[in-house]
C-alpha cells in the first residue's frame, strides 16, 4: 500500500487522472441517481394518470364494470386493470384471479390508495360519478413497479455507455498533455555531459516554458563555470611550460658540468621528475582542448580524415618509447577508412590510446592496431598484451587521474580521460574488454566511428 501511494504521489499524471476519474464518476453517479428517481416517479405518475383516465371513462358510461362471472383466460393477470363497483362482491366467493372481484372496503374514500387485497398489493383509484355510483379502478402494484423500474433503468443506459468512453478520452487526453514533459525528459537524458546548449522552448506548452527557461539559465551558468575551469587549467598549463622548459635546460647544462657520480644520479632523478611534470602539463592542455565545446574551432575544421594516415603518424611518434621498452608495435592490414572529424582530434585520440597501451604493456610485449570499415563509419582497435582491465574498473579508468591498483607505471592518469573527451566530441563510441577473454589478460580498446 505504501509503495502504491508513493508512486501515486510521485506521478502528477496519475494524480490528475485519478482526480478526474473520481470527479467524473461522482458526477455521473449523482446524475444517474437523480435521473433514475425522476424517471421512476414519472413512470408511476403516468400509471396513476392511466387509472384516472379509465375511471373517467367508467364514470361517463364508456367502460362498465365487468360482471362478477367475467374472466378472460388468455389475459395477462399482472397487466390487467380491474374495474368494479365499490362494495361489489362475488356471490361464489372467487378470487380476482379466478374471475371474481377484489375485496375493496366499501367505505374507502375517493382518491388513490395502495392496498393489500387477497394477499397481493394493488394500486386502487376510487371515484364517484355524476349518478352517485362509486367505481373502483385497480392494478397490481408489482406490475406497475416492474414497468416503472424498467423505464427508470433505461435512463441509466446513456450513463453506462458514455461514462466509460469519457473516462478513456480523459485518460488519453491526460497522457497527450503530459507527452511534452516525457519528450523533454528524454531530450535532457540523451544529452552528453558536455552538451550544455540551451533547449528549444518554442514548441512546448506555455506552462513548461518557464521551467525550460530556468533549465537554460542553469545550463548557461554551468557552461560558464566549466569554461572558467578549463581556461584556468589551460592557462596554468601554459604558464607551467616555460618554467619546466627552463628547469630542463638548466638540468642539461648542469649535467655537462662534470658532477660527481652521486650528484649525477640525483640529477638524473631530477630530470625524470621534470620530464614527468612536462608530460603532465601537455596532457592537461590536451584534456582542456578535448573538453572544449563541440563548436570550438581550436581543433581545426572537420573534414574527411584518413585513419590509416593518422595511425602511421602516431606510430612514428611512439616508436622511441616502443623501442625503449622493446615492445613490438605495428598496424595489421592496410585497409583505410575516412572519418569526418578534426585531424587534431583524431591524432590526439589515437596517440593517447597507443601511448596508454605502450606504458601498461610489460617490457617485451606487443601492441597491435587494426582498422576496418563499418558501412559509412569505421572501427579502430588497439590490442596490447598487458595485464588487462577488470570489468569493475572499466568505467572508472576514464576518470581523470585514475590509477589502477597495483600499477607501477608513472603515467599522468589522463590518457583515457582525454580519449573519452575526444570521442564524445566527435561522436565516437568506446568499448573496453580483455584481449584474451579465456585468460582474462590484455586490453582491447575498440573505437567505433559513426
The CATH number of residue 354's host domain is 3.30.565.10
* Cα gap 299→349, rounded to integer Å: 12
**What would the pLDDT profile of 356-382 be if each residue is shown by its tens digit?**
899 889 999 999 999 999 888 899 999
Looking at the fold, whether 314 and 442 belong to one and the same domain comes out as yes
Domain membership flag for residue 34:
yes
92 and 143 fall within a common domain: yes
Percent of the chain scored above 90 by pLDDT? 15
Cell 450513463 belongs to 159
Cα–Cα nearest to 123, from 131, 132, 115: 115
- Residue at 414 is within a domain: yes
Number of residues in the chain: 450
Domain boundary among 290, 324, 350: 290
pLDDT confidence of 442, banded at 50, 70, 90?
Answer: very high
**Mean pLDDT: which of 170-179, 221-230, 261-270, 380-389 is highest?**
380-389
Please give the residue range of the domain that contains residue 343.
Answer: 297-449
Residue 103 backbone dihedrals phi, psi, to 5 degrees: -80, 70
| pLDDT confidence of residue 147 | 77
373 within domain boundaries: yes
CATH number at residue 223: 1.10.287.130
C-alpha grid cell, residue 412: 599522468
> For residue range 175-233, what is the model confidence (pLDDT) as tens digits?
888 788 888 888 888 887 767 888 888 777 887 888 888 988 998 898 888 788 777 77
Q: Quick one: 213 and 232 in the same domain?
A: yes
Q: Count CB-CB contacts under 10 A for residue 314.
A: 23
Is residue 100 in some structural domain?
yes
Predicted local distance difference test score (pLDDT) of residue 8? 41
User: Where does the pLDDT of residue 105 fall: very low under 50, low under 70, confident under 90, or very high at 90 and above?
Assistant: confident
Domain end among 290, 324, 357: 290
pLDDT band at 299 (very low <50, low <70, confident <90, very high): low
Give the chain's end-to-end CA distance (angstroms, integer).
Answer: 48
Q: Are 275 and 319 in a shared domain?
A: no
- Which of 61-70, 250-259, 325-334 has maximum average pLDDT? 325-334
Cβ-based burial of 126 (10 A; exposed 0-12, middle 13-18, buried ≥19): buried
Kindly state whether residues 127 and 234 are assigned to the same domain. no
Q: Are residues 250 and 302 in the same domain?
A: no
If asked whether residues 331 and 400 sit together in one domain, one would say yes
Residue 345 reports pLDDT greater than 50: yes
* 436 and 307 share one domain: yes
Distance between CA atoms of residues 56 and 102, nearest Å:
20
Q: What angle do CA 374, 377, 380 make, to 5 degrees?
A: 75
* Statement to judge: residues 312 and 393 lie in one domain: yes
Q: CB 295: neighbour CB atoms within 10 A?
A: 6
Strand order in the sheet with 328-332: 328-332, 366-374, 377-384, 441-449, 429-436
Q: How many CB atoms lie within 10 A of CB 255?
A: 15
Beta bridge partners of 239: none
Query: Average pLDDT, whole number, for the chain?
Result: 80
Domain boundary among 256, 290, 324: 290
- Whether 26 and 113 map to the same domain: the answer is yes
Is residue 352 situated within a structural domain?
A: yes
Q: Is there a domain that residue 443 lies in?
A: yes
Q: Is the same domain home to 344 and 362? A: yes
How many domains in the chain? 3
Measured CA to CA, the distance from residue 368 to residue 169 in angstroms comes to 62
85 vs 76, more confident: 85
Helix (H), strand (E), coil (C) string for the chain: CHHHHHHHHHCHHHHHHHHHHHHHHHHHHHHHHHHHHHHHHHHHHHHHHHHHHHHHHHHCCCCCCCCCCCCCCCCCCCCCEEEEECCCCCCCCCCHHHCCCCCCCCCCCCEEEEEEECCEEEEEEEEECCCCCEEEEEEEHHHHHHHHHHHHHHCCHHHHHHHHHHHHHHHHHHHHHHHHHHHHHHHHHHCCCCCCCCCCCCCCCCCCHHHHHHHHHHHHHHHHHHHHHHHHHHHHHHHHHHHHHHHHHHHHHHHCCCCCHHHHHHHHHHHHHHHHHHHHHHHHHHHHHHCCCCCCHHHCCEEEEEHHHHHHHHHHHHHHHHHHCCCEEEEECCCCCEEEEEHHHHHHHHHHHHHHHHHHCCCCCEEEEEEEEECCEEEEEEEECCCCCCHHHCCHHHCCCCCCCCCCCCCCCCHHHHHHHHHHHHCCEEEEEEEECCCCEEEEEEEEEC
Tell how strand 81-85 and strand 366-374 pair up.
Answer: unpaired
Integer Cα distance of 386 and 401 in angstroms: 20
Task: With a cut of 90, say whether residue 384 has pLDDT above it.
Answer: yes
Q: What is the pLDDT of residue 68?
A: 43
403 and 333 inside one domain = yes
- What is the CA angle 95-97-99, rounded to 5? 75
Q: Say how far residue 186 (Cα) sits from the centre of its chain.
A: 8
Torsion sign (Cα): 415, 244, 259, 323: positive
**DSSP-derived pairing of the beta strands 441-449 and 328-332:** unpaired
Residues contacting 41, CB < 8 A, separation 6+: none
Amino acid at each position: 500500500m505504501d509503495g502504491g501511494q508513493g508512486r501515486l504521489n510521485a506521478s502528477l499524471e496519475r494524480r490528475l487522472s485519478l482526480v478526474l476519474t473520481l470527479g467524473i464518476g461522482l458526477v455521473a453517479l449523482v446524475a444517474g441517481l437523480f435521473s433514475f428517481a425522476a424517471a421512476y416517479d414519472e413512470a408511476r405518475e403516468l400509471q396513476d394518470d392511466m387509472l384516472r383516465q379509465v375511471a373517467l371513462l367508467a364514470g361517463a358510461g364508456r367502460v362498465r364494470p365487468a360482471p362478477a362471472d367475467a374472466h378472460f383466460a388468455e389475459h395477462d393477470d399482472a397487466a390487467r386493470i380491474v374495474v368494479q363497483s365499490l362494495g361489489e362482491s362475488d356471490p361464489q366467493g372467487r378470487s380476482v384471479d379466478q374471475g371474481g372481484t377484489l375485496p375493496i372496503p366499501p367505505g374507502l374514500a375517493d382518491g388513490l390508495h395502495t392496498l393489500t387485497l387477497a394477499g397481493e398489493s394493488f394500486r386502487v383509484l376510487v371515484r364517484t360519478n355524476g349518478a352517485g355510483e362509486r367505481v373502483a379502478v385497480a392494478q397490481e402494484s408489482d406490475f406497475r413497479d416492474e414497468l416503472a423500474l424498467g423505464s427508470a433503468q433505461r435512463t441509466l443506459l446513456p450513463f453506462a455507455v458514455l461514462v466509460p468512453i469519457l473516462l478513456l478520452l480523459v485518460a488519453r487526453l491526460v497522457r497527450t498533455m503530459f507527452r511534452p514533459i516525457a519528450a523533454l525528459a528524454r531530450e535532457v537524458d540523451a544529452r552528453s555531459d558536455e552538451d550544455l546548449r540551451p533547449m528549444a522552448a518554442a514548441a512546448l506548452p506555455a506552462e513548461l516554458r518557464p521551467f525550460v527557461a530556468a533549465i537554460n539559465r542553469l545550463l548557461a551558468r554551468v557552461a560558464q563555470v566549466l569554461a572558467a575551469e578549463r581556461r584556468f587549467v589551460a592557462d596554468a598549463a601554459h604558464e607551467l611550460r616555460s618554467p619546466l622548459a627552463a628547469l630542463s635546460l638548466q638540468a642539461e647544462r648542469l649535467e655537462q658540468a662534470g658532477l660527481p657520480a652521486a650528484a649525477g644520479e640525483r640529477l638524473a632523478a631530477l630530470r625524470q621528475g621534470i620530464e614527468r611534470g612536462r608530460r603532465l602539463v601537455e596532457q592537461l592542455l590536451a584534456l582542456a582542448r578535448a573538453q572544449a565545446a563541440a563548436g570550438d574551432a581550436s581543433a581545426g575544421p572537420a573534414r574527411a580524415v584518413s585513419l590509416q594516415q593518422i595511425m602511421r603518424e602516431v606510430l612514428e611518434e611512439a616508436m622511441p618509447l616502443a623501442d625503449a621498452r622493446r615492445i613490438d608495435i605495428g598496424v595489421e592490414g592496410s585497409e583505410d577508412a575516412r572519418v569526418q572529424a578534426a585531424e587534431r582530434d583524431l591524432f590526439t585520440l589515437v596517440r593517447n590510446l597507443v601511448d596508454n597501451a605502450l606504458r601498461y604493456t610489460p617490457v617485451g610485449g606487443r601492441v597491435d592496431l587494426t582498422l576496418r570499415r563499418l558501412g559509412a563509419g569505421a572501427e579502430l582497435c588497439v590490442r596490447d598484451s598487458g595485464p588487462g582491465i577488470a570489468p569493475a574498473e572499466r568505467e572508472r579508468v576514464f576518470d581523470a587521474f585514475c590509477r589502477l591498483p597495483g600499477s607501477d607505471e608513472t603515467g599522468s592518469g589522463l590518457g583515457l580521460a582525454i580519449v573519452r573527451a575526444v570521442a564524445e566530441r566527435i561522436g565516437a563510441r568506446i568499448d573496453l574488454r580483455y584481449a584474451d577473454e579465456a585468460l582474462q589478460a590484455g586490453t582491447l580498446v575498440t573505437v567505433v566511428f559513426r
